[in-house]
A = this chain, B = another copy of it.
Amino acid sequence: MTFVPTDFLTSEDESPVAIERADAVGDVLLVCEHASRRLPSRLGTLGLSQEALSSHIAWDPGALAVARLMAEGLDACLIYQRFSRLAFDCNRPPGAPGAIRDVSEVFRVPGNENLSETEKAARAQALYYPFQDRIGAEIKDRHARGQATVLVTVHSFTPVYYGTPRAVEIGILHDEDSRLADRMLAAADGNKQYRVERNEPYGPADGVTHTLVLHALPAGLLNVMIEVRNDLIDTEAGQRIVAGFLTELLAKSLRDIQR
């Protein structure tokens, strides 16, 4: 009798967890759960059109590019997930209904319909657990070597949702610990560049703060989730401008807190 570990990811797939600038010395640890629209080869297209597979239901367009630029500016480590949230949304706990969606906004996702418990567990094992484990391990390693961690997750959102345009341009989101978000919102107040709002277009009640809640809150780490409207970061120029704004905002807010 021989058994093999789950082969949900095959030799055609890369490792689900990517780490960049692992030796960075800054306090900020950037995380991008929805960095990629790539699907594990085993899932094919999930029955979706190329349009759907390129859209915000598969990933947060521009978020990884912005996070990378912020990582440079802040001398920060960046951890991101290499596979699409359509396979498994790593910003949701395994038991949550939103972890694997069979309907996402206006799109049906045929390949996610009527999944067996085995199929769901295989995705959680292959994608969610290694990703969140790695973030936890990184935070522990940093702590052990005397490096602080300020956990910052970077996301983007669609300018039009269910047909309704969204006015907010940058969301500063938090769960029960709003220390860093409060400072960032205060520092952004009165800026002419962007419309910045608290817990918009989503908030903790939508379950979007899972990564923060899991890693930052129990440990008392400063934390924030940043949402950028994706039409602002659909070009390299836009990404540089937004990343510059956020890097400044974050750095200033952290200096304020440390003072």
Per the CB 8 Å criterion, the residue count for chain A at the interface is 48
Question: What does DSSP make chain A's interface, helix, strand, loop or mixed?
Answer: loop
A34: Cβ under 8 A from any B Cβ: no
Residues of B within 8 A of A219 (CB): 3-6
From known contacts A3-B220, A4-B219, infer whether A117 and B148 are also in contact, taking CB-CB under 8 Å.
Answer: no
- Copy count, this protein chain: 2
A16: Cβ under 8 A from any B Cβ: no
Contact A217 B121 (CB under 8 A): yes
With A5-B143, A117-B204 already in contact, 17 other A-B pairs whose C-beta atoms are closer than 8 Å: A3-B143, A3-B220, A3-B222, A4-B143, A4-B219, A4-B220, A6-B219, A93-B94, A93-B124, A95-B95, A116-B176, A117-B175, A117-B176, A120-B213, A121-B217, A125-B214, A125-B218
Chain A residues packing against B (C-beta within 8 Å) = 1-6, 8, 27, 92-96, 99, 116-118, 120-122, 124-126, 129, 132-133, 136, 139-140, 143, 148-149, 175-177, 204, 209, 213-215, 217-222, 257-258
